[in-house]
Amino acid sequence: MIPLVRVTPDSHDVIIDLLYATADNFTGKPVYAAGAGCFLNAEAEGLLCRTLDLVRPLGLKLKIFDAFRPSEAQWVLWNHTPDPGFLADPRRGSPHSMGAAIDLTLVDGESGVELDMGTAFDEFTPRSHHGNLDISVAAQRNRHLLMGVMTSAGWDFYRNEWWHYQLFNARANHPVLSDSVLGPDRMMP
């Protein structure tokens, strides 16, 4: 079994809001089972810990929308919206399906309110691209802050999605994992 590390609010002092376990995502229906856990491979979890060390002194927290995404879930997303600008073709493999990617935002550490990033998570439009100038200056600053802490911690970014970060060379260094890797903690219904 490939080791995946469970990320919880207690273990990592993060907010977990796995939108694919709800109908509040672009498919309009849950993709993961209710109560799905948040997991990363060990290398990605190490970078997450480094990121947390960078955001805490700023009075911020991380809110995680997605992390490990079994290959079966990637197929569900792709079959709904086969858009290679925003979703990895599951035949090629998604870094999410390797436990090597995370979708997240910054929140105020006291109130838990999300910082304005100019678009919602998974808004599949050019406004979600890094460097987009069609969003407020405050949202641009917040995106740069998120990119700064994530890249300083060692993550690579995906230019089309302000929320997506992954390990460098994930496809070369990590296998695609199916739902079965989680055993009793299975994410898919």
What's the rounded Cα separation, in Å, for the pair 83 and 189? 24
Radius of gyration of the chain (CA): 15
Q: Which of 69, 21, 67 is nearest to 48 (CA)?
A: 67
DSSP 54-118: HHGGGTEEEEEEE----HHHHHHHHHH---TTTS--TTT--GGGGT-EEEEEEEETTT-PBPP-S
CB within 8 Å of 61: residues ≥ 6 apart:
13, 14, 15, 55, 106, 107, 108, 109, 112
Catalytic residues, by residue number, are: 161
**H or E segment and range at residue 41:** strand 38-41
Pair of tokens at residue 74: 């990637």
